[in-house]
Structure 1
Amino acid sequence: MIQPVRRAAYRLYTHRLRAQLAGTSLPRHVAMVMDGNRRWARQMGFDNPAVGHRYGAEHIHEVLGWCAEIGIRHVTLFVASVDNMRKRASDEVENLMRMIEQVVAEPLLGPANPWQLHLAGRADVLPDSTRHALKLAEDATAERGAGFHLTVAVGCDGREEIVSAVRSLLEQEAQAGATLDDVAQRLTADAIAAHLYTGGQPDPDLVIRTSGERRLSGFLLWQAAYSELYFCDVYWPGFRKIDFLRALRSYSARSRRIGA
């Protein structure tokens, strides 16, 4: 009897949170640091904490459904940093990459899926199979016209991304015959932003990080300069719709002061 009562209470609370958001300002673009997969698996009693990556990957599509339902058309997900790829045990990285291929990339190919995939990060640090699966999904979804954009950030480091963007800008200018002094005189933030991994995409209005950690860990350092930040204590696989709606409620209650 307890479970039906809990489910009814959950539905009622979800409806209440959703009603509170009616008529409020919602983020156009939400970025998420999906942290806590392994800790969630340990909490749930799994012998192998890497199992949490599968549950976390599967949960992505449910969360994307919440975003589409509420009208959030730009989502960026932080899957793995360059440090994650280099420093974690090889079997864990292999498992994570397999989850990206099978659970993240492949379902996006379904004709009923509205999301257009964009990739952010260093493709050269990914295994060939992962790079191929993501590129296949990116190409296959390129013409989708529903207006839902999913950016998967894998092999990312914010400082390295900024260095790479500046280098790319300088190389482009040099090929056009510009001198270093010319570039210095005309250099703008927008010019650098165009060479970031996310060039052409809007900056996130809201960044959500799960697991209770209160830092960005190098995620979207440039793009999140004026983003609202929301830190949630639950681990990513246990991130519920009410947690998501609470984050949106917190965002809607804030007075955004860009640059202040």
Structure 2
Amino acid sequence: MMGRSDPAANETEAAPVPRHVAIIMDGNRRWAARRHLPRQLGHRQGVEAVRVITRAAGEMGIGYLTLYGFSSENWNRPADEVSDLMGLLKLFIRRDLAELHHNGVQVRIIGDREHLDDDIVALIEEAEQLTRNNTRLKLIIAFNYGGQNEITSAVRRIAHEVKEGRLDPETITQATVAAHLDTAGIPDPDLIIRTSGEKRLSNFLLWQSAYAELVFSDVYWPDFSPDHLKQAIAEFNLRDRRFGAVAAP
């Protein structure tokens, strides 16, 4: 039998949601260590959290959800851990692609693909191609991604266009740079959440986060739930976003 609904909970659910939420999914290994489990199990439980949060984001009406899955610096981790993370990406796409597509989720992977195995690249391209026309939720997964690398690559592409005479340096604007980033066509995040208690961006969306609101959660990613997401959004809605301007009287 259902009890009376909590007015505070209903108010949170009715509150406006950010158009674009980005999450630095941190704490898988510490979640496992605290339970005396292998770190691979922490990563696997983290994939379950991805599934739950993606579904919740769609239900809440969030338009864009970006998840930091694997950084370009993560290659420095032990080889068996890197191999397991690669396997989890393949498992996630193979097992969840049909459901994501059915639920109207458009999948986009950002990051460097040159150093990924051919089978992973093929799966990424399949996921993007299958879901390209979906509009309910844009799910962006940052995989083998680093913000500094992204900006460097964008500058290199712009420099080539200038060298070839296709671009006048005097016409280069912030919009020009944004159009050459991995996230071209995606609005900048309104809210960036980092789990596990760490308080840094760790090379994530450095250009795009210029005016994002940051919320840091002490919860390890495998334990991050839709309620935690709602709490972060409630905190976001208390912020006064001025984008460099003076607050209105």
Q: After TM superposition, list the pairs within 5 Å mapping 1:163-182 onto structure 2.
A: 163-178=152-167, 182=168
After superposition, what is the alpha-carbon deviation per residue over 1:57-95, rounded to whole angstroms, capped at 9, x for unaligned?
1221210111111110100000011110x2001110010
- Give yes or no for the alignment of 1:16 onto 2:8: yes
Question: Take 1:177 and 1:140, find their aligned partners in 2: how far apart are those partners?
Answer: 33
Equivalent in 230, 238, 241 of residue 223 of structure 2: 238
Amino acid at match of 1:168: R
Q: Name the structure 1 match of 2:110.
A: 120
Match among 37, 43, 48 for residue 34 of structure 2: 43
Counterparts in 2 of 1:189 and 1:235: CA distance versus 1, 3 Å: same
Match for 1:142 among 125, 132, 148?
132
Partner of 1:162: 151
In structure 1, the partner of 2:122 is 132
1: distance between equivalents of 2:204 and 2:166?
34
Number of residues of Structure 1 aligned to a counterpart in Structure 2? 244
TM-score (norm 2): 0.91
Moved over 6 A (4+): none
Question: What is the SS of the residue equivalent to 1:109?
Answer: helix
Query: What percent identity do the matched residue pairs reach?
Result: 39
1:186-197 matched pairs, under 5 angstroms: 186-197=171-182
Counterpart-to-counterpart distance in 2, 1:177 and 1:96: 40
Larger deviation, residues 113-122 vs 166-175: 166-175
> What CA distance in whole angstroms lies between the structure 1 residues aligned with 2:193 and 2:80?
28
Answering whether residue 44 of structure 2 is matched by residue 54 of structure 1, we say yes
Distance 1:57 1:154 in 2: 14
**Structure 2 stretches lacking a partner, 5+ long:** none
Measure how far apart 1:176 and its partner are.
Answer: 4.1
Give 5+ residue unaligned stretches, structure 1.
1-7
Provide Cα deviations, 1:34-66, integer angstroms capped at 9, x if missing partner: 1011111122331x1121111111221210111
Q: Deviations over 1:187-208 (max 9, x none)?
A: 1011000000000100000000
Amino acid across the alignment from 2:233: L
Instruction: Pick from 44, 47, 72 the counterpart of residue 82 of structure 1.
Output: 72
Moved more, 64-73 or 208-217: 64-73
Q: CA RMSD in A?
A: 2.1
Say yes or no: does 1:30 pair with 2:26: no
With 95-104 and 223-232 compared, the bigger mean Cα shift is at 95-104
Once residues 141 and 245 of structure 1 are traced to their aligned partners in structure 2, the CA distance between those partners, rounded to angstroms, is 27
Q: Match for residue 216 of structure 1?
A: 201
Structure-1 separation of matches of 2:205 and 2:27: 19
Are residues 20 and 177 of structure 1, via their aligned partners in 2, closer, same or farther at CA, if it must alter by over 3 Å? closer
- C-alpha spacing 1:18/1:172, structure 2 compared with 1 (3 Å): farther
